[in-house]
Structure 1
Amino acid sequence: MTAAAVAAALALVVTGCAPALREPPPVSTLAPGRSGAGGAAELVRAADTAWVRRADSRAAEEAQALYLDAAATDEQRVDGLLGAMRAMAFRIEREREAPVRARLAQEQVQLGQWCQRRAPSEAACDYRLAIALGQQARERASTGKDALGKMVELLRKAIAAAPQLDSGGPHRVLALVLLRAPGWPVGPGDPEAALGEARAAAELFPDAPENQLALAEALGKNGSSDAARVAYQRALDLATAAREAGDPEADRWRAEASAGLERHTGR
């Protein structure tokens, strides 16, 4: 989940009053059913192949469809659900049409609920549902207040069970939530606690650009401008290397790092 997505969602927290979770429809109603008669494992392999090409929006959509069909084919597995949620999160950040983003965000939350039901102890389900709730709150402001507490709870569960997910993602996303959320008594916002989470993510995966971005922001919010500048520069260097390697997220990371450097250097 991008920092911008977290910020946009949390800016709406104090005004929302609708429930973030509702009874989800069957997974089969969300799956397109265009993938033929292949088994779930075969569909997941095909989806993984399409996901590698996700810089092409058509490939990202294809991966999502294949993951969904896999999830509908075998109701015991969660890899299709998790893959579809990851693809939806990726597409939401690039989709220009608000109704499409809102639909994808809602469906992503529904898949997260099914993921938890199929595998209650699977930390990846908690992590992906937390991200989905944040994106849904951005697209549907009225769910923001209810979503915030659920996001924090889900991320803490994921940290306790599998902090290494998504290159330290549970720590990283929780850091952003704590940085951007309103503070007590309205919300759980806590810049000092956020710095601890950001440091934990960076210690686990120091070469992940997103971890350095979260660390830099947390350092800045805690008054450590020089250290923030160092972290932003490292994030920029890592993002540049990622772009050279063909990572489709690299340009976003570079933009965030460059903006952070400008804020902390006055350039």
Structure 2
Amino acid sequence: MRRPRAALPFALLGCALALASCAPALRGPEAGPTLAADLGVAGSAGDPTTVDGLLGAAEASWARRPDVGAVREAARLFGRAALADEGGVAGLLGYARAVAWRIEREGDAKERERLATASVRAGERCLGRSPGNPACEYALAIALGQQARERPATALDGLKEMVAALERAIAGDERQDLGGPHRVLALVQLRAPGWPSGPGDPDAGLEEARKAEALFPEHPPNVLALGEALEKTGDPDGAREAYRRASALASRLASGGDPDAAEWLEEARRVLSRPGS
């Protein structure tokens, strides 16, 4: 189950009000410790014979979500695959995906901060191995957003870098993660403060949400993002219809065994249960 969490704009405002204490969000892919230290995993580097087996086992563990232990094991195995395949990005991308999932369900603040930093490092390493790779850009963008929330000192720089990474991800492959780059950019623009403090722009967020929904209209997160965008741009009736459609789509997917659908359904029902919805 997702834990309640602070909204990203509060992190950004806290950083903006104390600008002198703000920290850079990125370190650079080649700076700092080893990959094993960055990811917090142990394994042997340069043994590609193990990569396929590690990736297969990691995907099998990932498929068992919402079992937290299984996702933790998936992250560990993806990390080991990243170590074993020194030139590939599949392990790093899988690691970032699993860690992002864990962060949203971790109750300990220090552990969330550690995981967020590790996820950013994975994204940087991914781009170091495959410069301009749109999947790496997308993974880094998500990690930067989570780090901005968990380490508010990075928020001012982090949101700027996040938006830039999302724009590059859109240019490279807007269809990845079922329209994910458009969807995530929409949520940033809907929830962050506006200029000059941040990238918030509800009208731009609505445009991005519409693009995600147009690409994959049956994907509940896209419809949920569209509902939020319509609500924040003054169309409560359109928002209500979008939330109802997201609920119906998520319910159908949950009946079919989709491991993420229950959370999408819960979110849609929560919004629809608010007074006036």
Which of 90-99 and 172-181 deviates more? 90-99
Partner of 2:121: 110
Q: Is the 8 A contact 1:24 1:114 kept in 2?
A: no
1:77–1:31 distance in 2 versus 1, CA, 3 Å: farther
Deviation at 1:34, TM superposition (A): 5.8
Instruction: Work out the CA distance in 1 between the residues paired with 2:152 and 2:197.
Output: 16
Letter of the 2:34 partner, please give it: P
Counterpart check, 1:139 vs 2:155: no
Correspondence for 1:21: 26
1:19 Cα deviation after fit: 1.1
Task: Give the alignment of 1:189-208 within 5 angstroms.
Answer: 189-208=200-219
Q: Give identity over the alignment, percent.
A: 51
- How far is the alpha carbon of 1:15 from its aligned partner? 2.3
Flag the 1:224–1:171 CA change in 2: closer, same or farther, 3 A.
same
Alignment pair present for 1:88 and 2:96: no
Q: Does 1:150 align with 2:149?
A: no
Q: Is the 8 A contact 1:25 1:110 kept in 2?
A: no
Moved over 6 A (4+): none
Size of the alignment, in residue pairs? 263
Give 1:141 shift. Answer: 1.2
Q: TM-score, normalised by structure 1?
A: 0.92
Counterpart of 2:10 in structure 1 is 11
The residue type paired with residue 199 of structure 1 is R
Task: Provide the rounded CA distance (Å) in 1 between the counterparts of 2:169 and 2:51.
Answer: 26
Q: Is contact 1:88-1:108 (8 Å) kept?
A: yes
**C-alpha deviations, 1:16-66, integer Å up to 9, x for none?**
211111244321233533699752122111111111112211111111111
Q: What whole-Å deviation, never above 9, does each CA across 1:218-250 have from its counterpart, x for those lacking one?
A: 011111111111100011111112222223322
What amino acid sits opposite 2:163 in the alignment? V
- 1:21 is matched by which residue type in structure 2? L
1:266 is matched with 276
- Residues 118-197 of structure 1: pairs in structure 2 closer than 5 A: 118-197=129-208
Partners of 1:115 and 1:125 within 8 A in 2: yes
| The one of 38, 42, 56 aligned to 1:33 | 42
Alignment of 1:181-260 (within 5 A): 181-260=192-271
Deviation at 1:172, TM superposition (A): 0.2
Distance 1:10 1:222 in 2: 18
SS at match of 1:188: coil
Q: Is the 8 A contact 1:24 1:113 kept in 2?
A: no
CA distance in 1, matches of 2:231, 2:32: 40
> In the alignment, which of 91, 95, 110 is matched to residue 99 of structure 1?
110
Question: Helix, strand or coil for the counterpart of 2:147?
Answer: helix
What is the alpha-carbon root mean square deviation over aligned residues?
2.0
Q: Which moved more, 1:14-23 or 1:113-122?
A: 14-23
In 1, the alpha carbon distance for the partners of 2:267 and 2:32 equals 35
- 5+ long unaligned stretches in structure 2: 16-21
Whole-angstrom distance in 2 between the partners of 1:67 and 1:55: 17
